[in-house]
Structure 1
Amino acid sequence: MSNLLEDALRHRLITSFEYNSFDRITPIGKGGFGQVMRAYSKRLEKDVALKSLFSVNNKAFVKELQNFNTVNHHDNIIKFFGISKDPDPSKETYYLVLQYAKDGDLRDYLRDNFENLNWETKSKMAKDIASGLSCIHKSNIIHRDLHSGNILVHENRLLITDLGLSQPLDANSNSVIGGMFAYADPEWLRKGRTYKRDKASDIYSLGVLFWELSSGRIPFKDFQGLEILEKVKSGERETPINGTPEDYIKIYSSAWNDNPTKRPTIENIRNSLEEIQFDNVFNETIKPIQPKVNLNNEPKDLVVENKVYKEDDVSGVISNQTFDLEYWKKTVSTDGIKPKGNSNNDLPNKANPTDSETTVNRSIEYHEPDGTNDQTDLSNWEITGIYNSNIHENNLSIS
Structure 2
Amino acid sequence: MGSQSLKDQYSTTAGPFNSPPFHTVERLPWTGLNRVFAAIYGCAILALLYHHVQTLANSKTLASFSITLSLLIADLVLAFMWVSAQAFRMCPIRRKEYPENLKRLVKEEDFPGLDVFICTADPYKEPPMGVVNTALSLMAYDYLTEKISVYVSDDGGSAFTLLAFMEAAKFAGHWLPFCRKKNIMDRRPDAYFSSPQFSSSEADEIKEIYESMKGRVENAMNRGEVSENYINNDEEREAFNKWKPGFTPQDHPTIIQVLLDSRHNKDITGHFLPNLIYVSRQKSKTSPHHFKAGALNVLLRVSTIMTNAPIILTQDRDMYSNDPGTPLRMLCYACDPAIQSTLGFVQFPQRFQGINKYDY
Tell me the TM-score normalized by structure 1: 0.22
Higher helix share: 2
Name which structure has the greater RCO, CA cutoff 8 Å, separation 6+: 2
Tell me the TM-score normalized by structure 2: 0.23
Higher strand share: 1
Q: Which has the larger radius of gyration?
A: 1
